[in-house]
Amino acid sequence: MAGKRPPGLQAIVRFLIGISAPALAVGYASFYSIFPSATFPVTSDASAAWILLILLVAALVGGTVGENLREALLSSFVSIPVGFLVGIAMAYAPALAGLYLLEPSAVPFFIAHYSLFVLAMAFPINLVGAILGQLLRGRLRFEPSAGRVGP
Amino acid sequence: MAVLLALTLGFLGALSALSLSNFISVARVHASAQVDAKGAFSVLGGSADGRLPDGGTARLRLNVSVSNPSPRSLTFDTVIYKAWIEDGPREAGLNTSRSDVLVRDGTSSRWFYLTFSGSNTSSQASVPAHGTGVVPLVLDLRMAPDPLLFRGVQNITNFAVSRGMSPSTQVWSIFILTSLNIDGVPPPASFTAPLYLYDVVRIVLQFGVDYGR
């Protein structure tokens, strides 16, 4: 009993775990879409296919964490502004070494302006990912127990 | 599902870490590379005392060097140069008709005559990571094709010689504006790419002051 967490706390932890993958994906995809030649993988122009793949996989995996569809959808939508903040933090990273590729005060506006495509795409992709993630969660949850049914 | 989540987070974390590493190394190039220029002036085909005859050549050797403390190598793209020679006759009040530039330094004023200007895009010299790269430029001035310019330099050089100075001790003011491409950072291929992407893939360094003209 002592090791059990209260249901409210469990939901918060699940929520935070649920937003981690899609938020990191949105942050990375925003950053990559803005600086494709200075990030990883290095490309001359940002690859839309790569961005969509990253967003979809992360949304799908994030969608499997929620206990139900409502939780999964909430996590997937909250992950977008959190991911935006991750993208801003990435753009500020060189400042930790005293380097500035951009004027520090302009970074948030710069990231907001040039990551609009990624942020806009993240809404429908996270929605689809959350639904597919819940379907995947349902299959993974019930298939083992179905195997144990016997006489 | 926990394994799937852990694998996804690990993959995204690795992508983000590699991206940050690349981004910081590019930012380091922008912040740390520096350009320097050294010039050596000489008179070719001159008389024994160093005067510049009509058939002679005024030569300025410029070594444009870029020091690169960053972990990325660079390649010279364009070197734009301007070189002004200090106009001794003008400062002595002997020849005030030349189109010189006046350079004020505190209380003193000096006159400089624009002798060489142009650009070089053919060197493609490389600057190694944590190293220095040099583009040597040899700038020659003869009577043809610009006799007026040559006469000006001839007057200045011969004036210095008449004062017991060697042409090699002439004072020059050098301006360099050079752009270098960062290796491993490809320029955008799309025509609709935003302009800042072109600023990310290359650096522009300046040495000296551009007095115009």
Interface of B with A in 29-68 (CB under 8 A): 30-31
Please give the residue range of the domain that contains residue B121.
33-207
Does B2 reside within a domain? no
Listed by start position, the domains of chain A span 16-137
Read off the pLDDT of each residue in A113-136 and give the average, rounded to a whole number. 95
Q: In this complex, is the C-beta atom of B122 within 8 Å of any C-beta atom belonging to chain A? A: no
pLDDT digits (tens, 9 = 90+) for B181-198: 999 999 999 988 999 999
Q: In this complex, is the C-beta atom of A137 within 8 Å of any C-beta atom belonging to chain B? A: yes
Q: In this complex, is the C-beta atom of B26 within 8 Å of any C-beta atom belonging to chain A? A: yes
Smallest CA-to-CA distance from B150 within B81, B44, B53, B39 is with: B53
pLDDT digits (tens, 9 = 90+) for A73-89: 999 999 999 999 999 99
Q: In the numeric block, which tokens belong to residue B4?
A: 């799937």
The answer to whether residue A142 scores a pLDDT higher than 90 is no
Contact B184 A114 (CB under 8 A): no
Question: Into how many domains does chain B fold?
Answer: 1
- From chain A, pick out residues whose CB is under 8 angstroms from the CB of B191: none
Is the overall model pTM greater than 0.90, yes or no? no
d(CA A61, CA A134): 9
Smallest CA-to-CA distance from A51 within A77, A75, A73, A25 is with: A25
Query: Which of A40, A100, A140 to mutate: most B Cβ within 10 Å?
Result: A40
The answer to whether residue A61 scores a pLDDT higher than 60 is yes
Residue partners of B56: CB distance under 8 A and separation at least 6: B43, B44, B45, B46, B142
User: Using an 8 Å Cβ cutoff, are A26 and A83 in contact?
Assistant: yes
Mean pLDDT value across chain B: 93
Does B126 reside within a domain? yes
The answer to whether residue A7 scores a pLDDT higher than 50 is yes
Contact A24 B9 (CB under 8 A): yes
Contact B23 A17 (CB under 8 A): no
Element containing residue A71 per DSSP (H, E): helix A69-92
Nearest to B184 among A42, A93, A99 (CB): A42
ipTM of the modeled complex: 0.89
Contact B15 A31 (CB under 8 A): no
* Poorest-pLDDT segment among A76-80, B92-96, B161-165: B92-96
3-state DSSP percent of chain B in helix, strand and coil, to 5: 30, 40, 35
Does B7 reside within a domain? no
User: Angle at CA B111, nearest 5°, toward B204 and B100?
Assistant: 75
Does B8 reside within a domain? no
Per-residue pLDDT, A151: 46
Does B1 reside within a domain? no
Contact B194 A114 (CB under 8 A): yes
Q: In the numeric block, which tokens belong to residue A145?
A: 């127990």
Q: What's B64's domain CATH number?
A: 2.60.40
